Amino acid sequence: MTETRITLAHGNGGRLMRELIDDLFVRCLSSPGLDTHVDAARVNVPDEHGVLLVTTDGFTVQPLEYPGGNIGSLAVHGTVNDLAVAGATPAVLTVNVFIEEGLEVATLERLVTSMGTAAREAGVRIAAGDTKVVRRGEGGGVYFATTGIGARRAELDLGMHRIRPGDRLLVSGPVGDHGIAVMLAREQFGLKGEVASDQASVLPLTQALLDLDGLRFMRDPTRGGLATVACDIATVTRHGVRLRESAIPVRAEVSSVCEMLGYDPYYLACEGRVVAVVAEAAAADALSRWHRLPSGADARNIGFVTDAEARVILETTIGGERYLEELEDDPLPRIC
Amino acid sequence: MTETRITLAHGNGGRLMRELIDDLFVRCLSSPGLDTHVDAARVNVPDEHGVLLVTTDGFTVQPLEYPGGNIGSLAVHGTVNDLAVAGATPAVLTVNVFIEEGLEVATLERLVTSMGTAAREAGVRIAAGDTKVVRRGEGGGVYFATTGIGARRAELDLGMHRIRPGDRLLVSGPVGDHGIAVMLAREQFGLKGEVASDQASVLPLTQALLDLDGLRFMRDPTRGGLATVACDIATVTRHGVRLRESAIPVRAEVSSVCEMLGYDPYYLACEGRVVAVVAEAAAADALSRWHRLPSGADARNIGFVTDAEARVILETTIGGERYLEELEDDPLPRIC
Question: How high is the ipTM of this complex?
Answer: 0.89
Per-residue model confidence as pLDDT tens digits over B121-170: 999 999 999 999 988 888 789 999 999 999 999 899 999 999 999 999 99
Q: Where are the domains of chain B?
A: 8-153, 160-323
Beta bridge partners of A175: none
Largest separation between any pair of C-alpha atoms in chain A: 66
This prediction has a pTM of 0.91
Query: When comparing pLDDT for A308 and B333, which is higher?
Result: A308
3-state secondary structure of A285: helix
Mutating which of B147, B158, B334 best tests the A interface, going by the most A Cβ atoms within 10 A? B147
Residues of B in contact with A326 (CB under 8 A): 14-15, 18
Are A94 and B54 an interchain contact pair (Cβ–Cβ within 8 Å)?
Answer: yes
Are B40 and A160 an interchain contact pair (Cβ–Cβ within 8 Å)?
Answer: no
Are B54 and A38 an interchain contact pair (Cβ–Cβ within 8 Å)?
Answer: no
Beta bridge partners of B313: B242, B323
Residues of A in contact with B325 (CB under 8 A): none
Q: What is the pLDDT of residue A332?
A: 73
Beta bridge partners of B278: B168, B215
Please compute, for residue B303, the number of CA atoms within 13 A of its CA located in the half-sphere on the CB side.
24
Residues of A in contact with B147 (CB under 8 A): 54, 56, 94, 96, 128, 147
Q: How far is B192 from chain A (nearest CA, A)?
A: 25
For B104, which DSSP code? B
Query: When comparing pLDDT for B234 and B261, which is higher?
Result: B234
CA distance B59 to B74: 8
Are B138 and A135 an interchain contact pair (Cβ–Cβ within 8 Å)?
Answer: no
Q: Which of A38, A138, A219 sits opposite B39 (nearest CB)?
A: A219
Q: What values do phi and psi take at A145, rounded to 5?
A: -135, 135
Are A58 and B132 an interchain contact pair (Cβ–Cβ within 8 Å)?
Answer: yes
For A327, which DSSP code? P
Residues of A in contact with B330 (CB under 8 A): 9, 12-14
Q: B247-283 burial string, b = 16+ CB within 10 Å, else e?
A: ebbbbebbeebbeeeebebbbbbbbbbbbbbbbeebb
Domain A160-323, CATH class in plain words: alpha beta
Q: Which of B39, B58, B82 sits opposite A96 (nearest CB)?
A: B58
Sheet holding B300-306, edge to edge: B215-219, B275-278, B168-171, B300-306, B240-244, B312-315, B321-324
Are the C-beta atoms of A53 and A152 separated by less than 8 Å? yes
Task: Find all residues with CB under 8 Å of A250, minimum gap 6, and list them.
Answer: A174, A175, A176, A258, A265
Q: What is the pLDDT of residue B328?
A: 77
Range in A121-125, A222-226, B31-35, B184-188 the model is least confident about? B31-35
Q: What is the pLDDT of residue A27?
A: 84
Residues of B in contact with A127 (CB under 8 A): 54
Query: When comparing pLDDT for A185 and B45, which is higher?
Result: A185
Nearest CA in chain A to B53: A42
Reply yes or no on whether the pLDDT at B30 is more than 90: no
CATH fit for domain A8-153, picks 3.40.1830.10, 3.30.1330.10, 3.40.50.1980, 3.30.70.20: 3.30.1330.10
Q: Which of B37, B86, B97 sits opposite A160 (nearest CB)?
A: B37
Q: How far is B247 from chain A (nearest CA, A)?
A: 25
Residues of B in contact with A60 (CB under 8 A): 98, 132, 134
Taking residues B52-60, report their average pLDDT: 94
The enclosing H or E element of A287 equals helix A283-291
Are A58 and B85 an interchain contact pair (Cβ–Cβ within 8 Å)?
Answer: no
Q: What is the mean pLDDT of chain B?
A: 91
Q: How far is B215 from chain A (nearest CA, A)?
A: 16
User: Which phi-psi region, left, alpha or beta, contains residue B282 (left: φ > 0; alpha: ψ -120 to 50)?
Assistant: alpha
Taking 50 as the pLDDT cut, the residues of chain A under it are none
Reply yes or no on whether the pLDDT at B261 is more than 90: no
Nearest CA in chain B to A336: B132
Per-residue model confidence as pLDDT tens digits over A21-53: 888 888 888 777 777 777 788 787 765 558 889
Beta bridge partners of B53: A42, B150
Q: What is the pLDDT of residue B96?
A: 95
Q: What is the pLDDT of residue A85?
A: 97
